[in-house]
Amino acid sequence: MAGDRLALTGLGRFVLGPLVTLACVLAISLANTYVVPIEFPAPVHLLAVVFAAYVGGVAPGLLSAGIVIFFTAIYFSPTGVTLPLGAAAAQRMALVTLVAPVLAVMTSVLRSRFVLTLRRERQQRKAIQAAHKDLLTLRAALDRIEAGVVLLDHEMRAVFINEAFRRMWRLPDEKANAKPAFVGLMYHGRDTNAYAVPARELDAYIGKRVASVQAGDAAPIDLRLANGDILRVQCSVLPDGGRMLVYNDVTDLVLQAERMERLANVDGLTGLFNRRHFLTLAETEWSRHRRYARPLSLLLLDIDHFKTVNDRFGHDVGDQAIFHVANLCQESKRQPDILARLGGEEFAMLLPETKLEDAHTVAERLRRELEAEPLLLETGEAVAVTVSIGVAQADLASGLGQLMKNADNRLYEAKQAGRNCVMPPPQNRRAPAHAA
């Protein structure tokens, strides 16, 4: 049915123009005969041709032009039906014969172009409306997600900032809607003390972040905030040269990962490094010792008569004794020293930049401190906790394993020597001279 209606509409447009033209020329002829003489009706005829060509196209226009030419010839004929015409009439006839078809063709061409232009404008308008609707939908969706999103143009100005980002950084709406530059967003974080970065490092930090975004670095970066939150930001380069920044709150994820890492590297009872992590760190220090010929020493400690403590007081007190030794070792170690519980009642302390003589001094001081501070139980009873210590120097070892073996041999010697001592013993020193 729709096709039939379109066909009838097309047929109607085809015949409408010629019918209007025919009616027009007949009306002018009747008016000329019975009402008032019309010397030159060509302008009206040509308007009818234009109408026919505009409504129906080239074919109806040319048909209307033929009708106009035919009636014009009759109109200018002296007798109404004979040719040739007079000179003036012939000129007018020639003008109509030339202009009518040209007008028909030109009008139909202009109409086709006009219709095509209208169709294109309509399609573009629909496309723009659809794009605008999609944009509004996208903005609404981005405002509802938990991740912070910032869209930057090619000049690094924020053309869109979603609600989540505004909450994360306490960014007022008036600033967000003003399309600030990315560096302006960074300075807002500085002014609100959002970054967990020392004040003296803030300018360098901001410069590094801006350079990273300008370069389009896609590697995820974790940003630590002063309130303890951790945001993971990732930058994507857009086709128009802009950037899309996505901020996800990964605080729980990162803290859980750090917690798991600590569990993997730390002894659960004492909080010191475990054996596995100690060996990893010790390998690094050993490589530095070999590459740069820097001094390196190792202490191995073992709690004296630990089985007796367990048998007499129970394993809970034994654990307290281990924790007691770990705390005193932690308090006496230097920042670069690496302290670990190797297992059971055995501990290790790696001393970078330390020669054997200085390592012995450290070991002896630690032994005396432990000897002077017994473990106090809740019952008020004091339990003496002492250690035997073996000291070894990296210069006398071929590898980390050899260094640990040498220290273990010295520890065994300390136990054989009666415990609560350091092996090897210090070299004899000259007694200081006393004034006479």
294-348: per-residue pLDDT in tens?
A: 999 999 999 999 999 999 999 999 999 999 999 999 999 999 999 999 999 999 9
Beta bridge partner(s), residue 235: 245
Q: What's residue 435's pLDDT?
A: 32
- 399 pLDDT band, cuts 50/70/90, is very high
Q: What's residue 54's pLDDT?
A: 83
What distance in Å separates the CA atoms of residue 367 and residue 102, rounded to the nearest whole number?
117
CA distances from residue 377 to 119, 268, 314, 368 in whole angstroms, order as listed: 94, 21, 12, 20
Where do the structural domains in the chain lie, given as residue ranges? 11-120, 144-254, 266-423
- 10 pLDDT band, cuts 50/70/90, is low
Residues 136-167 have pLDDT tens digits of 787 788 888 889 999 999 999 999 999 999 99
Residues 339-369 have pLDDT tens digits of 999 999 999 999 999 999 999 999 999 999 9
Q: Which CATH number fits domain 266-423: 1.10.10.2120, 3.30.1490.20, 3.30.70.270, 3.30.70.1290?
A: 3.30.70.270
Q: Does 55 score more than 90 pLDDT?
A: no
Taking domain 144-254, whether its CATH number is 3.40.50.12780 is answered by no
The HSE-up count of residue 396 (CA atoms within 13 Å, CB side) is 11
The whole-chain average pLDDT of the chain stands at 86
Q: β-strand 387-393 against 422-423: which pairing, if any?
A: parallel
Residues 201-213 have pLDDT tens digits of 999 999 999 999 9
Residues 192-235 have pLDDT tens digits of 999 999 989 999 999 999 999 999 999 999 999 999 999 999 99
- 3 pLDDT band, cuts 50/70/90, is very low
pTM score of the predicted model: 0.50
Q: Is the peptide bond before 84 cis (omega within 30 degrees of 0)?
A: yes
What distance in Å separates the CA atoms of residue 375 and residue 366, rounded to the nearest whole number?
15
Q: What's residue 80's pLDDT?
A: 47
- 8 pLDDT band, cuts 50/70/90, is very low
Cβ atoms of residues 176 and 157 within 8 Å: no
Q: Which stretch, 241-245, 263-267, 425-429, has highest mean pLDDT?
A: 241-245
* Nearest to 351, CA basis, from 275, 286, 270, 280: 286
What distance in Å separates the CA atoms of residue 195 and residue 221, rounded to the nearest whole number?
14
* Nearest to 423, CA basis, from 405, 403, 436, 407: 407
Q: What's residue 5's pLDDT?
A: 43
Q: What's residue 428's pLDDT?
A: 40
Mean pLDDT of 27-50: 79
CA quadruple 176, 181, 184, 189: dihedral positive or negative?
Answer: positive
**End-to-end Cα separation, the chain, in angstroms:** 135
Q: What's residue 436's pLDDT?
A: 27
Mean pLDDT of 130-134: 79
Tokens coding 131:
């794009």
Residues 407-420 have pLDDT tens digits of 999 999 999 999 99
Residues across the chain: 436
Mean pLDDT of 179-187: 94
